[in-house]
Amino acid sequence: MEYQDLLELTKKYDSPLYVYYTDTIEYQYRRITEAFSDVNKLQINYAVKALSNINILKFFKKLDSGLDTVSIQEVRLGLEAGFDPKKIIYTPNGVSLEEIEEVATKGVQINIDNLSILELFGQKHPDIPVCIRINPHIMAGGNSKISVGHIDSKFGISIHQVPHILRVVENTGMTINGIHMHTGSDILDIDTFVRASEILFDVAKQFKNIDFIDFGSGFKVPYKDDDISTDIEQLGVQLSERFNQFCQEYGKEITLMFEPGKFLVSAAGYFLARVNVVKQTTSTVFAGIDSGFNHLIRPMMYDSYHKITNISNPEGRDRYYSVVGYICETDTFGSNRRISEISEGDILCFHNAGAYCFSMASNYNSRYRPAEVMIYKQEDFLIRKRETFDDILNNQQVFEF
Ligand SMILES: *Cc1c(COP(=O)(O)O)cnc(C)c1O
């Protein structure tokens, strides 16, 4: 990625703009497949919710990835992108039995995360094998909003309820073909993974027809220059060997799955916005951009850090800024950031804007959602047009008073 190229893209497509580099996605994907190359059967299921543009999904298909989906609409996007339904896993939380049944008719792998639905589903469809999402009660993840595997979490069936699951299986005659966990995001400590995997192996042993174990995701990516991230290579070394040993004990080659979102797409994305106003107050200098939490909500929602660079003046003298949006609420992307001197009209580049950025964008303040551009083999492709006023009015029924 060159700042000059990004600057050219804002001239061509205007701002605000999301840009994704497929090379980076591929590099991250290969890092995992290489780290686990000792495992005979490996499947990486990209977590669609991180970045769901259909062209990104098609790129993952080209890489031979599977998909992890959380809604029937994500499933449909995946099928539309050409995925074999067998390579899609559906891991909803708190959705209706009807939606789960509809997804099942498409041939997609169902993953069930609560006992009552498991029982209902098993009674009605004993011939459709399902995976179960286990909550191993391990505290993991960067903060309480993104940590989902601890004791109070709404996700998964408690590890203490495995006897109950076994009873449901026996009573309904259903088949459990997979065991799954996903304990949170931004997990740094690979020992947490390894400990949680032991719990999953223990559960898997108790079922006769396991085809795969899905270790979820939550790999941490670096946000700052000196940040550490999940050591995927080391995890590969530790977990592959243990997994292969488990396959031996179990007496079958089972598939090892992961379902990363952030790890695969975070660093591949950049968000570009123009500075509308530079405002000196008594305490700080604000740089106000042509965007807000309607386009990138992570800093406001869970204090995530996005490095910000002034690509219009990368060699300028560093100064301190608070970068804020245009939304009529507190809308701070970063406070007290050291950035090379900003003038009105400059383009600021937000790093790590691939995951959970566009996919969380909204029309709040009746603004248009940004355009998206994909860089594939050094060429840029517009993969989503900037919205227009028609998109804002679309679906509104105009009432005549
Ligand atoms: C969100 C989610 C993921 C992806 O998490 P990342 O932190 O982006 O890797 C994986 N699996 C499930 C079930 C999820 O809900």
**253 lies in the same domain as 312:** no
- The CATH number linked to 179 is 3.20.20.10
| Chosen domain end from 211, 243, 265 | 265
Q: pLDDT value at position 196? A: 86
Q: pLDDT value at position 391? A: 97
Residue/partner pairs of 70-76 with CB below 8 Å, 24 or more apart? 71/95, 71/99, 72/99, 72/102, 72/103, 74/48, 74/49, 75/103, 75/106, 75/108
**Nearest-angstrom CA–CA distance, 86 and 84:** 5
Give CA separation, 56 vs 297, 369, 372, 394, in Å. 21, 18, 11, 25
186 CA: nearest ligand 1 atom: 7
Cα of 215 from ligand 1 centre, angstroms: 11
Q: pLDDT value at position 328? A: 85
Q: What is the pLDDT of residues 190-221, one digit of tens each?
A: 888 888 899 999 999 999 999 999 999 888 88
Q: Tell me the pLDDT band of 165, cut-offs 50, 70 and 90.
A: very high
Cβ 68 under 6 angstroms from ligand 1? yes
Cα of 105 from ligand 1 centre, angstroms: 24
Domain count of the fold of the chain: 2
Please say whether the beta carbons of 172 and 119 come within 8 A.
Answer: yes
Residue nearest to atom 2 of ligand 1 (CA): 47
Q: Tell me the pLDDT band of 310, cut-offs 50, 70 and 90.
A: very high
Nearest C-alpha neighbor of 67 from the set 269, 263, 259? 259
Q: pLDDT value at position 190? A: 81
Burial annotation 330-351 (CB, 10 A radius, 16+ → b, else e): ebebbeebebbbbeeebbbbbb
Give yes or no for residue 276 having a pLDDT over 90: yes
Nearest C-alpha neighbor of 261 from the set 100, 18, 17, 65? 65
Q: pLDDT value at position 218? A: 82
**323 lies in the same domain as 239:** no
- Domain assignment present for residue 399? The answer is no
Which residues are 325's β-sheet partners? none
- Phi and psi at residue 357, in whole multiples of 5°? -110, -75
**275 lies in the same domain as 256:** no
- Domain assignment present for residue 401? The answer is no
- Domain assignment present for residue 13? The answer is yes
Cα of 257 from ligand 1 centre, angstroms: 13
**Nearest-angstrom CA–CA distance, 173 and 325:** 56
Cβ 384 under 6 angstroms from ligand 1? no
Q: Mean pLDDT throughout 357-369?
A: 97
| Chosen domain end from 239, 265, 291 | 265
Please say whether the beta carbons of 352 and 221 come within 8 A.
Answer: yes
180 CA: nearest ligand 1 atom: 13
**104 lies in the same domain as 221:** yes
By DSSP bridging, strand 332-340 and strand 318-324 are antiparallel
Q: Which domain holds residue 49?
A: 22-265
Give CA separation, 399 vs 71, 111, 392, 394, 396, in Å. 32, 43, 16, 14, 9
**150 lies in the same domain as 219:** yes
Helix axes 190-205, 232-250, angle to 10 degrees: 10
- Please give the helix or strand (H or E) that residue 179 lies within, else none: strand 176-180
**257 lies in the same domain as 288:** no
**253 lies in the same domain as 357:** no
Q: pLDDT value at position 138? A: 76
Q: Tell me the pLDDT band of 289, cut-offs 50, 70 and 90.
A: very high
Give yes or no for residue 187 having a pLDDT over 90: no
**271 lies in the same domain as 259:** no
Angle at 357 between CA 18 and CA 341, to 5 degrees: 60
**317 lies in the same domain as 173:** no
Q: What is the pLDDT of residues 130-153, one digit of tens each?
A: 999 999 887 554 445 555 555 556
Known catalytic membership, residue 131 = no
How large is the greatest C-alpha to C-alpha distance in the chain, in angstroms? 73
**Nearest-angstrom CA–CA distance, 170 and 158:** 19
- The CATH number linked to 369 is 2.40.37.10
**Nearest-angstrom CA–CA distance, 279 and 291:** 16
- Domain assignment present for residue 140? The answer is yes
How does the average pLDDT of the chain come out, rounded?
A: 94
Cβ 141 under 6 angstroms from ligand 1? no
**Nearest-angstrom CA–CA distance, 357 and 362:** 10
Which residue type sits at 331?
D
Cα of 69 from ligand 1 centre, angstroms: 9
185 CA: nearest ligand 1 atom: 7
- Domain assignment present for residue 393? The answer is no
Please say whether the beta carbons of 292 and 326 come within 8 A.
Answer: yes
Cβ 218 under 6 angstroms from ligand 1? yes
**248 lies in the same domain as 134:** yes
**209 lies in the same domain as 126:** yes
Q: What is the pLDDT of residues 23-60, one digit of tens each?
A: 999 999 999 999 999 999 999 999 999 999 999 999 99
| Chosen domain end from 234, 265, 296 | 265
- Domain assignment present for residue 131? The answer is yes
Cα of 359 from ligand 1 centre, angstroms: 13
Structure tokens belonging to residue 347: 């383009």
Q: What is the best residue among 182, 183, 223, 358 to mutate for testing ligand 1's pocket, by most ligand atoms within 8 Å of CB? A: 182
318 class by beta-carbon count within 10 Å (0-12 exposed, 13-18 middle, 19+ buried): exposed
CB-hemisphere CA count at 13 Å for 39? Answer: 29
- Domain assignment present for residue 398? The answer is no
**257 lies in the same domain as 338:** no
Nearest C-alpha neighbor of 70 from the set 102, 95, 51? 95
Cβ 360 under 6 angstroms from ligand 1? no
Structure tokens belonging to residue 60: 């993952």
Q: What is the pTM of this model?
A: 0.95
Q: Could you tell me what percent of the chain has a pLDDT over 70?
A: 95
